[in-house]
Structure 1
Amino acid sequence: MGKLNLFAITLNNPQGVYYPGQFLEGHVTVDLKEGMKMRGIRLHFFGGATVKWSETYTVSGTTYTKIYSANETYFNHEVVLFGKASGQGGDNPTLSAGSYTYPFRYQLPKGLPSSFEGSVGRIRYWLNGTIDKPWKFDHTTKRAFTVVNLLDLNTEPGAKEGLQGANEKNLCCLCCKSGPISCKFEIDRRGYVPGESIPIKAEIINHSNRRMKRSYAELYMVVNYHATTKSITNNKKIGEISHGEILPGDSDTWNGDLLPIPPLPPSKLQGCRIIAMEYYVKLCVNPAGPAFQLEVPLRLIIGSIPLQSTLQQYGFAPPLQGPSQSQLYQGGAQASAPPGISMPPPSFSESAFGTVNIKDDDDTEHTKGDMNYAPMYAYYNWGQTAQPSDPPQ
């Protein structure tokens, strides 16, 4: 790196998880082997959403590709750590050899949507440090961080209500003497937080003359991406559990089999207008041979603050009085449990979808920092620390 030994961004919160309205604090470290002439050292704070995909069309034998896109900017702020601001005239200063630490403190706007990395869209937050050198390439370093917009299940209509669904399907035409396959499917409530498991209850009856290869419960995400002139929908599987075959005339019962919920962003992505998200769990019956499977979907709400009734089932605390749980959680991304709540706080775990590369078109081969990033989401390790009891009567 020539004269530069080190150029790095350090956050005071090593997990890099923040709530909207919190202060982003840390420092930038610059270590020079020799003095360096520069316009200045600047730190750029950015948050925004991007949607972009392409589609290919053929018209009158000619094939062309059309790009669909949309963007939202939530904040775009720059501070000068040393020297001059962007575009400012005058002489260029020289920073002498040595090690320098520049602290920073920036308050995130309220109402930010949660971080999200999808197939054709994202909500991403980052800091970018630049050593702006005249007539030479700039030194840059980048650091992504996670914003979690808390979704309190206690404020979501229907989150406590149980859900039921049913469906049946005939595998043969009307001339065949074969009955339908039928399924009744239920879950105890609509609202869950990551770290919980969904107890699956179902009854499947095979009145057909064909074997069912298996039945399975699948948790999946439905994401709607809205470009300026078009929208698309993508489904992403998160996890599943399954049962074995069901012979003709037989039945199968699910008696509360547990489908775990890994670290995930909360439903809706509230605050974003170009990406929307919902979660579903569905019970599927897969016939042997050519036929479409039977499906019974139920829509979930994945939150970041659990239901008070769920806390009671786990033996933690009576219903909270006074301020809402979401207000009490705003003490920090590493906050302990709210006052009056004897429960373990959530940990923050990497997204179930893994890491992405955060290098953008504006980044160059000279951009340093960790380009592999995974959003962090609230996760409750209740399965290892407590077992639910029967709900209070």
Structure 2
Amino acid sequence: MPDTELLVEFDQPQEVFFPGQPISGRVILITEEKYKARAVNIKFEGCAKTDWDDHESVRRVDAEGKAHYVQQRVNYSANVKYLESTALLWACRDGTNELAAGKYVWPFSYNLPANIPPSFEGKYGYIRYSVTAEVDRPWRFDKAKKRCITVSPLLDLNILPHAMTPLHDEASDTVGCCCFKKGYLEMRVDIPKTGFVPGETVPINLHILNHSSVPVTEVKAKILQQCKFVAFRHGNTFDFTGESLMAHSAREQKQDMNAVIKQTQALTVAPSNEHKLALELRLPSVTPTINQNSPIITVEYLVQISVDTTSTFSSDIDCEMSVLIGTVPIRQYLPPAYYPPNPALPPVMPTPMPPQIGGGVAPPPGYGFVPPQPEGSVPMNAPPYPGVGGGAEPLPSKGDAVVIPSAPPLSYQDSMYGTGGTQLNTDENEKPFVPKYPVFNDLPVYNPSAPPPE
């Protein structure tokens, strides 16, 4: 019997969808002969999953009464269900349970919930969304086609005041140790704002003051993706309600740090001298910051800077700051050509922010959303976010709040970690799934406090 082909196609060719908006497309069945089928269903699923094994020592007593310890494997896991819905596309009504040879097309549409996190693949967990078409076949194995999709929330930096807040950190330490102390080294670090988007350049302004007797030889800068995973002994499954799951007992946490981008620059700062310089790190395709609507997986980003000397012991000093990765760049720092000014949007100014050294940048609840406008007010007709259909599609919403999309042209690119970033349940799809994230190309570098070029 010839193969029968089952396909799932989407109206959005990038297969990137926004919370609160519809997933639409069609299921296609092509058969060259009569095909036994009772019904055709489509299933929409979204979940977060964490999973790992640890080992612990367990005391055992043998038949002679002697105690000894053995290693026992203990599983920790957690599942959070964000969506699970099944719809009937076709059912046999005449009792034949048969489809004639030919091509069949069934359209579908499903509105995603508004408060779901972005797709993500990590070492100890993932956030994954899928669409599965299934043919119910009597007395035979069902035929199914599963497609993973990317969900990408609109994390608009324009409506997060602290995204525009400059970051500052400084460090100083003695070079050398004990009887070999060689003075001290001081470093001051400034980043002109907190919020960035993939494709944008993160400028790092350094002021190095060498009060030691040895020269500074090197500066290193890197951006790290800090992933935290929560799981429970012997597992737990939750339906997501927006409430915290952290009250459950036997909770364990794993952390994974991934390099996003690194840069090393050789330089010489002689003893009793100082030097200013700027480093630039361009963000590749990475998931936006995840710290809302995701109780078992969080993703944040750290900038680490290290200055090294020729000293054998205690030769370097370090600084660390947290940055926020969004999906819509800050409008006021871009040339007018990117989008015209919108008088309906209120101006947003930087706000003071307490020092957050390695503590993560936490957007306020409901990040990425703005309140609805009062009746009779001027509508916020911001330029449409790419891929939303030129403004023809309804805007994403959260309760009574409406997301105002606004951004210059972008592209959707596979996660920088590729299939290597997909490490759990890699065999549940035809091939490991790689999520796509918005990347903004050719954005100008915003660095008003940059030191003069050397």
- Which residue among 422, 431, 434 is the counterpart of 1:374? 434
Counterpart in the other structure of 1:193: 197
C-alpha spacing 1:205/1:268, structure 2 compared with 1 (3 Å) = same
Return the offset for 1:250. Answer: 7.0
Q: Name the CA distance, whole Å, in 2 between partners of 1:207 and 1:16.
A: 55
C-alpha spacing 1:117/1:254, structure 2 compared with 1 (3 Å) = farther
Partner SS for 1:175: helix
Of the structure 1 ranges 116-125 and 162-171, higher mean CA displacement relative to structure 2 is found in 162-171
C-alpha spacing 1:178/1:322, structure 2 compared with 1 (3 Å) = closer
Q: Name the CA distance, whole Å, in 2 between partners of 1:145 and 1:5.
A: 24
One-letter identity of the residue aligned with 1:309: Q
Partner SS for 1:244: strand
Partner SS for 1:158: helix
Partner SS for 2:293: coil
Counterpart in the other structure of 2:413: 349
Partner SS for 1:215: strand
- Which residue among 115, 133, 157 is the counterpart of 1:153? 157
Alignment of 1:1-393 (within 5 A): 2-59=1-58, 60-83=68-91, 93-208=97-212, 214-228=218-232, 229-246=251-268, 249=271, 253-286=275-308, 289=312, 291=314, 293-312=316-335, 316-318=339-341, 321-322=344-345, 328=382, 333-336=387-390, 344-355=408-419, 360=425, 363=428, 370-383=430-443
Return the offset for 1:163. Answer: 1.1
One-letter identity of the residue aligned with 2:17: Y
Tell me the TM-score normalized by structure 2. 0.74
Return the offset for 1:215. Answer: 1.3
Q: Name the CA distance, whole Å, in 1 between partners of 2:434 and 2:254.
A: 24
One-letter identity of the residue aligned with 1:124: R
Contact in 2 for aligned 1:313/1:389 (Cα 8 Å): no
Return the offset for 1:30. Answer: 0.7
Q: What are structure 1's unaligned runs of at least 5 residues?
A: none
Q: Name the CA distance, whole Å, in 2 between partners of 1:52 and 1:84.
A: 41
Query: Alignment RMSD, CA only?
Result: 3.4
Q: Name the CA distance, whole Å, in 2 between partners of 1:73 and 1:309.
A: 38
Q: Name the CA distance, whole Å, in 1 between partners of 2:188 and 2:385.
A: 43
Q: Name the CA distance, whole Å, in 2 between partners of 1:315 and 1:110.
A: 28
One-letter identity of the residue aligned with 2:264: S
Return the offset for 1:272. Answer: 1.3
Q: Name the CA distance, whole Å, in 1 between partners of 2:159 and 2:258.
A: 26
Return the offset for 1:5. Answer: 3.2
Return the offset for 1:64. Answer: 1.6
One-letter identity of the residue aligned with 1:105: S
C-alpha spacing 1:135/1:342, structure 2 compared with 1 (3 Å) = closer
Q: Name the CA distance, whole Å, in 2 between partners of 1:342 and 1:330.
A: 6
Return the offset for 1:137. Answer: 2.5
Partner SS for 2:290: helix
Tell me the TM-score normalized by structure 1. 0.84
C-alpha spacing 1:132/1:293, structure 2 compared with 1 (3 Å) = farther
Contact in 1 for aligned 2:129/2:150 (Cα 8 Å): yes
- Count how many residue pairs are aligned between Structure 1 and Structure 2: 378
Q: Name the CA distance, whole Å, in 2 between partners of 1:36 and 1:341.
A: 46
- Per-residue CA distance 1:298-356 (angstroms, 9 max, x = gap): 11111112223223587744355249996757767345599x99963332222222235
Contact in 2 for aligned 1:317/1:342 (Cα 8 Å): no
One-letter identity of the residue aligned with 1:333: G
Q: Name the CA distance, whole Å, in 1 between partners of 2:85 and 2:92.
A: 15
C-alpha spacing 1:326/1:77, structure 2 compared with 1 (3 Å) = same
C-alpha spacing 1:333/1:135, structure 2 compared with 1 (3 Å) = same
Q: Name the CA distance, whole Å, in 1 between partners of 2:440 and 2:268.
A: 35
Return the offset for 1:50. Answer: 0.6
One-letter identity of the residue aligned with 2:321: L
Q: What are structure 2's unaligned runs of at least 5 residues?
A: 59-67, 233-250, 348-367, 371-381, 396-403, 450-454
- Per-residue CA distance 1:253-299 (angstroms, 9 max, x = gap): 45332110112222134211111121111211245656574220111
User: How high is the sequence identity, in percent, across the aligned residues?
Assistant: 27
Contact in 2 for aligned 1:220/1:279 (Cα 8 Å): yes
One-letter identity of the residue aligned with 1:5: T
